[in-house]
Each structure stands twice: as structure tokens, then as C-alpha cells.
Structure 1
Amino acid sequence: MNIPSPYLTIEAFSQHSGLSKSTIRDMIADGRLPVRGKSADMKRGKVLINLLALYTDASKGCDVSLNA
């Protein structure tokens, strides 16, 4: 399995998944999409969706191992 990048912006994830930006924001708000945490001084920074966490979660229950 090749993960192109560990994180994607909302815009890039929208292009990658075909989901609208508003749907993605809703999924982030209700916890269906994991995002990179921000420190207190980065509150206005870009939201980054954690693809590695998504791939890891998707692989649970399958006979798949993730190696570096």
C-alpha cells in the first residue's frame, strides 16, 4: 500500500475523495474524519486530514500490515 502523503488539506481531500468540502467539514465536526491536532498558537492554521489514521483504521479486521 502506498500512502501519497500522511496529511491532506480539505481541498485536496475533496479532490481525492469526490466529497464536497461542506460534507468533509461535517465529517470532521462529528469525528468521522481524523485531523492533525493544532497547538494553541496555530488555531487559524489549515485543517489537515490525517490519512495515515484513516488507512490504519480501514485496515483493521483485514489481513493487512502497514510497514515503513
Structure 2
Amino acid sequence: MRPNITININTPYLTIDAFSTCTGLSKSTIRDMIADGRLPVRAKSADMKRGKVLINMLALYTDASEGCNISLQPNL
């Protein structure tokens, strides 16, 4: 049986600046990771093409849990 864990995600989306601060990665590295698909981002509608890029933290936590033998239940 897989154990259940609960993760409290304070912010489901982070800007590139905030993600850089949290991870210590440079903004250019983050942009490269977004461009090649290593970081999931919130989709923008056609009328918001110039809006801020938002990194999907819930998708990152979910992806990270797939390699473990756990059942992830995010608590937003």
C-alpha cells in the first residue's frame, strides 16, 4: 500500500523572479528550461500574450511524486 502525504502549496504559480529566488537558478536558466519543456507554465489566452510567465508549481510537485511510491494529495 502506498502511503498518503499531504503537501501544502502556498502559491500554485510562481513568476520567473520568484522561482529564481526560491531555487537559486538564474533567470536565463529558468527561461531555457521553460523553452525546452522542463518547467510547466500556465497557458495564456490569445489576448494575454504579453502577460507574466507563471510556473505551475502544482504540476512540478505532481511530476516529482510520480517517481516515488506515494499517493500525492495537494492541499491548496
Amino acid at match of 1:62: C
Q: Which residue of 1 aligns with 2:24?
A: 18
Taking structure 1 as the reference length, what is the TM-score of the superposition?
A: 0.93
Query: Identity, % of aligned pairs?
Result: 79
Taking structure 2 as the reference length, what is the TM-score of the superposition?
A: 0.84
Greater percentage in strand: 2
Q: Over residues 30-52 of structure 1, what are the superposed CA-to-partner deviations in whole Å (9 max), with x where a residue is unaligned?
A: 00000000000000000000000
- Equivalent position to 1:51, from 50, 57, 70: 57
1:10 & 1:24 partners in 2: Cα distance? 7
Unaligned runs of 5+ in 2: 1-6
1:61 & 1:31 partners in 2: Cα distance? 18
Q: Which protein is bigger by CA-based radius of gyration?
A: 2
Unaligned runs of 5+ in 1: none
Say what the alpha-carbon RMSD is for the aligned residues: 1.0
- Equivalent position to 1:3, from 2, 6, 9: 9
**CA shift for structure 1 position 3:** 1.6
